[in-house]
Amino acid sequence: MLRAAGVGLGDEVVVPAFGNVEVAEAVAMAGALPVFADIDPVTYCFDASAVEAALTPRTAAVVVVHRFGRPADIARLHGVGQRYGLLVLEQGESEAPYDEIAQRRERAAYLDAKLRGVRTPDGGDGHTYQQYVVRVPGNGRPDRDAFARAVRARGIECRVPVKTPVHRLPEFRRCVSLPETERAADETLALPVDAALTKRDMQRIVGACNVLGGLLQPAF
């Protein structure tokens, strides 16, 4: 796609570091250099201001990735592209049937109302909850990984959505300041909201998380 658009050797392409390495790999395969920009802490998608700050005279394109079922602010990002004459490409997520999305939203609303001790996601317009991603603040006791282990020990499936930001990987290591990306990678945890989950399943998820709420107080 990038090569077909004329992007190649000597060009730079702005990509997110919070997410899959495949985007940066595709840029490198086209002969261009991936340049990383920070994310919005609410949507986990590109922060348009951070993208604009990452541009150089060699920037040819921006690859926007919609994350966890929450769409990026594509209007602002296209505006950046138009101002600087850049190609703006979008990478979406697989679409689910409407009834499945509706059930996910129903389960997400239940978790929003019941969870304590973690920061629940901001639903926003158009959120389809491909993943229900909470924040476990890294305040010392316990951290996100300890919280995840404790939740799993209570029989609840959960996963770290982005284990290592792309700019930390050896093949793409960059000395770049991405504070929101770093914070999100350290704090986020995806809880299940599958359409198949029963009300009892949802109660078990809430119970497993909330019993740990007292552990989330800052360590002294």
Domain positions in the chain: 12-91, 98-216
Assign domain 98-216 one CATH number from 3.40.50.12780, 3.40.640.10, 3.40.50.720, 3.90.1150.10: 3.90.1150.10
Q: Which residues contact 58 (CB under 8 A, 6 or more apart)?
A: 10, 11, 12, 33
Burial class (CB in 10 A: 0-12, 13-18, 19+), 60: buried
Q: Pairing relation of β-strands 188-191 and 132-135?
A: antiparallel
- Report how far Cα 178 is from the mean position of its chain's Cα atoms: 13
Of 133, 112, 145, 116, the C-alpha closest to 217 is 116
Return the bridge partners of 64, or none. 90
Q: Tens-digit pLDDT profile for the chain (220 aa)?
A: 777 778 888 899 999 999 989 999 999 999 999 999 999 999 999 999 999 999 999 999 999 999 999 999 999 999 999 999 999 999 877 778 999 999 999 999 999 999 988 999 987 778 999 999 999 976 555 588 989 999 999 999 999 999 999 999 999 988 899 999 999 999 999 999 999 999 999 999 999 999 886 444 443 3
Backbone angles phi, psi at 61, to 5 degrees: -155, 165
Question: What's the CATH code, domain 12-91?
Answer: 3.40.640.10
Residue 42 Rama label (left phi>0; alpha psi -120 to 50; beta): alpha
Residue among 36, 28, 22 at smallest CA distance from 91: 22
